Amino acid sequence: MTNAVIDVIKKRRTQYALGKDLPLSPDAVTHLIKEAVRHAPSSFNSQSSRAVILFGAESEKFWSMVKEALRKIVPEDAFAASEARVNGFAAGAGTILFFEDQDVVKELQEKFALYADNFPIWSEQSSGMAQFAVWTALAESGIGASLQHYNPLVDAEVAQTWDVPPSWKLRAQMPFGSNLQPFGDKAFIDDAVRFKVFG
């Protein structure tokens, strides 16, 4: 059995070897990202996900922030490995910073008090779905990416540098670019460990 959606999902893989030559223009990539986030599901159709899209020197600036933040906390004898990893992200064409708007979460908590404890959880789920939607859309367009989490190390500096509203909470970072290496085979655990089917 074949399914076009599953075929596209299979293309979404982690790519660490990123280059700057994209198959689409920055405008087209921006449109793709916006459409993916716009159509990703969210609880109560809250649309709480936000994104800052960085290209070129702006993306490199972000990863320089990360590197300097890591330099302060990573032991000197272990820093080279962290630096090389971050340099790999900076080598890409751009980076998407994913946020969740906490004002939206609070508004929902006030409006639907019965579910107040769940809205932060549902917001995280919405963020994950937005990230997955973008990553899959990029993969379908031949653009490599990975998902990183250097928050909250750089949250304050990011907010100041790119004029991010105080209510936006940084959740993940997605460096993207051209695929400079092929993908290896993906291993899967046994279905019996992951699934139970009844009926």
Per residue in 155-197, pLDDT tens? 999 999 999 999 999 999 999 999 999 999 999 999 999 999 9
Is the backbone peptide bond immediately before 152 cis, with ω within 30 degrees of 0? yes
Residues 6+ apart with CB under 8 A from 131: 98, 147, 171, 172, 174
**pLDDT for the residue numbered 1:** 79
Structure tokens at 158: 């990011």
Which residue carries 């092929």 as its tokens?
Answer: 182
CB 174 within 8 A of CB 151: no
**pLDDT for the residue numbered 30:** 98
Low-confidence ranges of the chain (pLDDT < 70): none
Residues 6+ apart with CB under 8 A from 127: 48, 49, 98, 100, 171, 172
Q: Which residues pair with 74 in a beta bridge?
A: none
Structure tokens at 159: 């907010």
Alpha carbon distance 37, 44 (integer Å): 15
